[in-house]
């Protein structure tokens, strides 16, 4: 990784470098949020974090090209994980703890000199997404935001599989991991997995909250065998634009 690429990550800066980045009073911090939970037999437990981090890096590059100084913060790796709790590797945290922790982290970055903090969430379990949004609320206008593809205007820009809700470790998420971290995908296994055409969103709307009760026998839904890195690149670009749009709108409230 080049020196310039490394310096998009806040934790890689020295204290003096961070002070210089924040010195103009416009620094935006993008904070990837996710969870540790099962994503089928072919993707790692930190899949949501891989997606959030990769999208945040692209968004930071977009914002920098527009003259907005942006850095990517270290991940917030734990979230509400009730849907997948019946499968090995699910590490869940109560929603109130997620909200309070993230609010504290946002406050910490603001005290450190950031002008704005955007929580970038791709763990879309409803209780988790609500906790992330709540954590960004209550700050002075323009100081904090949450970028999430559950927001309808952004969801409409994503894939058909995503919009159907059959998208847990399916074509959508698998493609993004193939683009962002190809070595993390168990590709030989992925190619043999049958499609599981079960909509998580429809089940959740009916009050069915566990993957095991929905019929996800191996903790995935959708069509991972159809995934491709090209599709993942496209989805990452759309997620990056989602984040950049969220930040642009938020900082406009402050200016």
Task: Give all domains of the chain, ordered by start, each with its CATH number.
Answer: 3-254 (3.40.50.10310)
3-class state of residue 14 by DSSP: coil
Residues of the chain above pLDDT 70, percent: 97
CA angle 110, 252, 98 (to 5 degrees): 40
Nearest-Å Rg of the Cα atoms of the chain is 18
Stated pTM of the model? 0.96
**pLDDT per residue as tens digits for the range 76-117:** 999 999 999 999 999 999 999 999 999 999 999 999 999 999
End-to-end CA distance of the chain: 35
3-class state of residue 129 by DSSP: helix
Q: Is-contact 178 228, C-beta < 8 A?
A: yes
Tell me, what's the pLDDT at 251?
Answer: 92
**pLDDT per residue as tens digits for the range 28-47:** 999 999 999 999 999 999 99
Average pLDDT over the chain, rounded to an integer: 96
Could you tell me which of 2, 5, 52 has the C-alpha nearest to residue 30?
A: 52
Tell me, what's the pLDDT at 1?
Answer: 39
Alpha-carbon span 31 to 215, nearest angstrom: 33
Q: Is-contact 166 196, C-beta < 8 A?
A: yes
Q: Which helix (H) or strand (E) holds 139?
A: none
């Amino acid at each position: 990784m080049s020196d310039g690429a490394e310096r998009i990550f806040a934790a890689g800066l020295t204290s003096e470098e961070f002070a210089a980045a924040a010195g103009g009073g416009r620094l935006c911090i993008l904070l990837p949020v996710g969870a540790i939970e099962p994503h089928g037999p072919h993707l790692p437990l930190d899949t949501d974090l891989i997606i959030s981090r990769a999208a945040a890096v692209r968004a930071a590059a977009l914002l920098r090209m527009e003259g907005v100084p942006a850095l990517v913060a270290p991940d917030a790796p734990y979230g509400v994980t009730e849907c997948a709790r019946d499968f090995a590797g699910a590490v869940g945290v109560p929603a109130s703890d997620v909200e309070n922790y993230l609010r504290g982290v946002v406050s910490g970055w603001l005290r450190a000199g950031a002008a704005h903090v955007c929580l970038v969430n791709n763990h879309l379990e409803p209780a988790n997404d609500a906790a992330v949004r709540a954590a960004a609320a209550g700050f002075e206008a323009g100081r904090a935001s949450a970028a999430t593809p559950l927001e309808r205007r952004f969801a409409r820009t994503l894939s058909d599989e995503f919009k159907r809700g059959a998208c847990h470790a399916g074509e959508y998420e698998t493609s993004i991991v193939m683009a962002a971290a190809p070595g993390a995908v168990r590709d030989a296994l992925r190619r043999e997995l049958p499609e599981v055409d079960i909509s998580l969103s429809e089940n959740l709307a009916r009050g069915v909250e566990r993957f095991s009760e929905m019929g996800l026998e191996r903790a995935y839904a959708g069509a991972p065998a159809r995934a491709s890195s090209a599709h993942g690149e496209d989805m990452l670009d759309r997620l990056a634009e989602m984040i950049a749009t969220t930040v642009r709108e938020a900082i406009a409230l402050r200016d």
